[in-house]
Every structure is written in C-alpha cells, then in structure tokens.
Amino acid sequence: MHDCRPLLEKTDFPAIHRGKLTTLQVNLGYLCNQTCIHCHVDAGPRRTEIMQRETIDTILYFLRVSDVKTLDLTGGAPEMNPDFRYLVHEAHQLGVKIIDRCNLTILSEVGYEGLAEFLVEHQVEVSASLPCYLSDNVDAQRGNGVFARSIAGIQALNALGYGQKDSGLELNLVYNPTGTSLPPSQIELQAAYKKELNERFNIYFNQLFTITNMPIKRFGSWLISKREFDPYMQQLKEHYSEANLESVMCRSLLSVDWQGYVYDCDFNQMLDLPYANQGKRHLSDLLNVNVEGTPIAIMDHCYGCTAGQGSSCGGALD
C-alpha cells in the first residue's frame, strides 16, 4: 500500500484550536467482518489490534471525571471487541449518549445474535454506512452481498423501533462517494434516499450524513495508484470553504486509538499524527485536563473536512 502521509505533511491549511470537548470517539480495534475499498482504517477480518479491558476502564474513568456527554464507538466493527457490551452497559449507566458506528452486516454474523436488542436496551444511536441505495454500487465498494445484508440489518433495526417516529431510537445512514467526486447536497440526497429506500424496501431512517472521502490510507493509496492523488487534493482545495472551519469535528471531539493514545480526530489517528502535535499522549494523561484552546494538529488532508458543504462524522457542516 502507498503511504500518503509524506504527500500531506506540507500544508497551508489554516491553524485551528480546540473548543469545548463534548465527544470522545473511541476506536475499539481494527477487526472487521468487511474490507471496504474506501476504509481509512484498513480494517478487516485478519487485524488483531483490539482495545483491552484495562484501556476500556480508562475510557470509563475519563467519562466519569469529564463533562463529555457523547461516546462515539468506531473500529473496525466496534461490536467485535469482546468488551463492547461491557463498555456500552457501563457508559449507559453513567448517562452518556452512545453512538455505535455499525456496518449493519455485523447484525447477521454468527455469534452476534441479540446485538440489535442490546442496542435498543441501551438506547444506542446507530450510525450505519450505506453508500448508495443501489445494490451494485454498494457491493462494488463494500463487498459482494453487503447491500442485501445491510438492507436486512436496517429492516431488523426498524422492527425494533429504530428510525421510527417518536421511538427515541435514532438510526442514521452514512453516504460517501464511490469515486473521486465530492458528496452531493446532503439535504437532496437524504430526500432521495428516504424515497427510494422506503419504496424499494419499506425501510426508515432518521438522517443521512454525507461524508467526503479522505485522501489517506486505503482510499489515499488507491488515489496514488490511479495517479489521482494530486487532482483529488486540488479539488478539495478549490472547494475550500472558510465557513466550515468553525465546526470541524476536531474542535469538540477527542479521538482515542485501540491502545488509549489520543489524537485530534480519527483521520489523524490513522495518519499517526498525535494530539496537538505533542508526541504520543495517552488518555490517562488528560484526566482532569481542560483541552480548550489547545492547537490542533493539521496536515493537507484537513481540506477534506472543509471542502464544499464540509464533512464530519455527523455529515455536512454547513
């Protein structure tokens, strides 16, 4: 795989600083039942990096002593961490809102029976990738058969109340482009998704989040191999929107890797670009520390967050 980092280090992206910390985004490990082409984590079934119980207890301690109100769980497939249910149960007891970045197919894997019911019981918000409402496009990006299993996963969640009006069980879908284009209008695409998915499969969801593909890891390597890296970066820079700077997710989120080290965001974690450019810092170093005002570590990939309508784990920024 081609290393994108040397191509991103020299940057003219403007300096940014942290605001109030509201969200801890935790990567529970790189193990996944899928191997999607755009995956910025290079996750897959053979990865062995998994967060251990001791680090999970540090996460829970951090939640106890901080004002952080949202725990955002990612991976890999976060549910494949053997302590996933322990963490969710304990965080729920603390009154923290939990988001599970679920790939939907995990719901039908052998050994994960009862997962959907567990998510309901703990009022977990589900955020699920579905890069298209057409089967061929999804299978091309995420693997053969993934679309049908994803639809079945949404149907199972709908049957338990997810995405249904007034249920309080939020199901959001995530779209990212299949190629090198920027995402289309989030509002317009959400309307099309709602119409198509309802008409074709009788399924429901709350919001659609559009996310720009980041020029790092597997997608970045693919860009390099297709000689598309420089044109893609140029496109991101040409569509730079200063208005998005205020709301880039690193201003309010702290990203934690499977070993407990902290980063300004998940993308920086994947580039091994440490929190605030301070060298490797562990979450246990930040207990009772006010991070507001700390400079954020930036490189050229940050243009992926500010291009066009902007991009974050919660979709468009403007």
Binding site for ligand SF4 (CB under 6 A): 32, 34-36, 39, 41, 43, 75-77, 103, 142, 248-250, 264-265, 267-268, 296, 298, 301-302, 305
Considering the complex, state which of residue 17 and residue 195 has its C-beta at the smaller distance from ligand SF4.
17
Neighbouring C-beta atoms of residue 26, cutoff 10 Å:
28
- Least Å distance, CB 95 to ligand SF4, is 26
- Least Å distance, CB 38 to ligand SF4, is 7
160/188 Cα distance (integer angstroms):
27
Nearest Cα neighbor of 142 from 156, 131, 153, 154 is 131
73/90 Cα distance (integer angstroms):
14
- Least Å distance, CB 165 to ligand SF4, is 28
Considering the complex, state which of residue 90 and residue 139 has its C-beta at the smaller distance from ligand SF4.
139
- Going across the sheet that includes 70-74, the strands are 208-210, 171-175, 125-129, 97-102, 70-74, 23-27, 253-256, 262-263
96/98 Cα distance (integer angstroms):
6
- Least Å distance, CB 103 to ligand SF4, is 4
76/288 Cα distance (integer angstroms):
29
Considering the complex, state which of residue 249 and residue 256 has its C-beta at the smaller distance from ligand SF4.
249
CA dihedral 236→242→247→253, nearest 10 degrees, is 60
- Least Å distance, CB 93 to ligand SF4, is 27
Considering the complex, state which of residue 4 and residue 32 has its C-beta at the smaller distance from ligand SF4.
32
- Least Å distance, CB 123 to ligand SF4, is 23
Considering the complex, state which of residue 81 and residue 268 has its C-beta at the smaller distance from ligand SF4.
268
Nearest Cα neighbor of 31 from 93, 90, 111 is 111
Considering the complex, state which of residue 74 and residue 190 has its C-beta at the smaller distance from ligand SF4.
74
